[in-house]
Amino acid sequence: MDGMTANDLSHVVDADRAHVWHHLVQHKPFETGEPKIIVEGKGMRVWDQNGKEHIDAVSGGVWTVNVGYGRESIANAVRDQILKMNFFGGTTGSIPGALFAEKLMSKMPGMKRVYYANSGSEANEKAFKMVRQIAHKRYGGKKHKILYRDRDYHGSTLATMSAGGQDERNAQYGPFAPGFVRVPHCMEYRKHEQDGAPEENYGVWAANQIEEVILREGPDTVGALCLEPVTAGGGVITPPDGYWERVQEICDKYDILLHIDEVVCGVGRTGVWFGYQNYGIKPDFVTMAKGVASGYAAISCCVTSEKVFDLFKDDASDPMNYFRDISTFGGCTAGPAAAMENMRIIEDEDLLANTLVMGERMLANLQALAEKHPVIGDVRGKGLFCGAELVTDRKTKEPMDEKRVGAVVADCMQQGVIIGATNRSIPSRNNTLTFSPALIATADDIDEITEAVDRALGRVFG
């Protein structure tokens, strides 16, 4: 670790313990134990304060570092840009902002405009506000409701939590904003938990459940439907056949705007540029954040279709007819400069193709583990975005308890392999081990990760 002595690092740990409030952490154990500080990264690997090497199977913990660590060309692109012009906010544009928007749109046929912000939550809020403004402009405020799914997650702010389908995250933070309505999820493996779910054509049936909510609420009150293409934190839930086609039909039928949250799936994670492109969907909004610049800079985008954009300029004589919103750091140029280079790397290194091949390998390895370990009830995934759901009994599908799922994650960490598990706090829902390595993963990396999981499962459930 360049330039830092053991004493320096011990000071860092003390400063962290004394002053940093970590995300998602109960801090009591840190009073005696040690917080983990990630000090350095290169490619697929990171090193902690004790010099221990880990292979990172979760791209920076939260599905973000798609092109891996230590990319000099991204650092250079950001350095050059911020020395030339780091920031100008408000109504102006920037060179990297314009060029990245053009590049991004070349990957998203049918989409037209990029609105810059900083986080996934913020990008989603922008889309929600656009939906509300459209409702006011065109429908006297009536068509303002935003539908979201059980198990989906759209962010940590109060409005995005109002569209949050994971109750365990929301407990203790209400009351939430009005006008957000929950619709049922679509999860083949757990369809037995849904009354009336059929054996055949489950996908179409599940989409029809959304239509029932629309009819109950009144289609003239529903402005948008917001969905993750593959649900991430809710358990790596891939959609069954027929689902998305029917969802699209329903949105078209009732003139409901389709908002696809690509904060996790976006920019290559599923082996295509955007998750929705796997399913032939025509969105009105696409929001993205994590993989856009692989965590080298904070950037998010709310991308809209031309149809949506045009609604905000159709009557220029009305002084109120524009999107009256701002994001200060939407004017930072580091974000689009990093994003541009990030995208060039994915293209030049053919990382989408690698993601498809390595994703297949990851799924096959996990399926092989399922043959050996009966605690694996289901294996799911799309590209390098995979999950293995743990159950106590394959017949009843009783979810594995948080403690033992946590023990598997901890055992892997001990072995120097960082894997994830989706929100383990609610045993009935959060029992899925998650794997989302950088898109540069090699066959050896994938095997190293799943071999560690094999050993961990053997020790915890052996």
Yes or no: say if 161 and 238 are a contact pair by the CB < 8 Å rule: no
For the chain, give the longest Cα–Cα distance.
Answer: 72
Q: Is residue 332 within the footprint of ligand PMP (CB under 6 A)?
A: no
155 vs 335, beta carbon nearer ligand PMP: 155
Q: Which amino acid is at 371?
A: E
> Token pair of 159, please?
């409005």
Could you tell me the smallest distance in angstroms from the CB atom of residue 291 to ligand PMP? 11
How far is residue 69's CA from residue 424's CA, in Å, rounded to a whole number? 27
Q: Is residue 289 within the footprint of ligand PMP (CB under 6 A)?
A: yes
User: Which residue from 323, 326, 327, 324 is spatially nearest to 311, judged by alpha carbons?
Assistant: 323
CA-based radius of gyration for the chain? 22
Number of amino acids touching ligand PMP (CB under 6 A): 16
263 vs 370, beta carbon nearer ligand PMP: 263
Could you tell me the smallest distance in angstroms from the CB atom of residue 28 to ligand PMP? 24
List of residues 6+ apart from 313 with CB closer than 8 A = 321, 322
182 vs 455, beta carbon nearer ligand PMP: 182
Yes or no: say if 441 and 354 are a contact pair by the CB < 8 Å rule: yes
155 vs 383, beta carbon nearer ligand PMP: 155
How far is residue 271's CA from residue 383's CA, in Å, rounded to a whole number? 5
Could you tell me the smallest distance in angstroms from the CB atom of residue 224 to ligand PMP? 15
How far is residue 160's CA from residue 362's CA, in Å, rounded to a whole number? 32
User: Which residue from 279, 271, 266 is spatially nearest to 114, judged by alpha carbons?
Assistant: 266
Backbone dihedral region for residue 240 (phi beyond 0: left; psi -120 to 50: alpha; all else: beta):
beta
User: Nearest to ligand PMP by Cβ — which residue?
Assistant: 120
Residue range at the interface with ligand PMP (CB under 6 A); choices 46-54, 153-161, 347-355, 444-452: 153-161
List of residues 6+ apart from 424 with CB closer than 8 A = 402, 405, 406, 430, 431
291 vs 359, beta carbon nearer ligand PMP: 291
Q: Is residue 270 within the footprint of ligand PMP (CB under 6 A)?
A: no
Element containing residue 110 per DSSP (H, E): none
Could you tell me the smallest distance in angstroms from the CB atom of residue 263 to ligand PMP? 3
**Per-residue x/- mask for ligand PMP, residues 250 to 269, rule CB under 6 A?**
-----------x-xx-----
Show contacts with ligand PMP in window 178-237 (CB under 6 A): 228, 232-233
Give me the phi and psi of 20, to 5 degrees please: -95, 130
Show contacts with ligand PMP in window 92-131 (CB under 6 A): 119-121, 124
115, 128, 153, 435: residue in contact with ligand PMP (rule CB under 6 A) = 153
Could you tell me the smallest distance in angstroms from the CB atom of residue 121 to ligand PMP? 3
Q: Is residue 155 within the footprint of ligand PMP (CB under 6 A)?
A: yes
The DSSP secondary-structure symbol of 218 reads -
Show contacts with ligand PMP in window 59-78 (CB under 6 A): 62
**Per-residue x/- mask for ligand PMP, residues 386 to 425, rule CB under 6 A?**
----------------------------------------
Neighbouring CB atoms inside 10 A of 279's CB total 16
295 vs 331, beta carbon nearer ligand PMP: 295
Q: Is residue 294 within the footprint of ligand PMP (CB under 6 A)?
A: no
Yes or no: say if 321 and 314 are a contact pair by the CB < 8 Å rule: yes
227 vs 345, beta carbon nearer ligand PMP: 227
User: Which residue from 367, 462, 361 is spatially nearest to 411, judged by alpha carbons?
Assistant: 462
How far is residue 350's CA from residue 355's CA, in Å, rounded to a whole number? 9
103, 136, 137, 156: residue in contact with ligand PMP (rule CB under 6 A) = 156
120 vs 381, beta carbon nearer ligand PMP: 120
186 vs 391, beta carbon nearer ligand PMP: 186
How far is residue 386's CA from residue 441's CA, in Å, rounded to a whole number? 14
160 vs 248, beta carbon nearer ligand PMP: 160
Residues that bind ligand PMP (CB under 6 A): 62, 119-121, 124, 153-156, 228, 232-233, 261, 263-264, 289
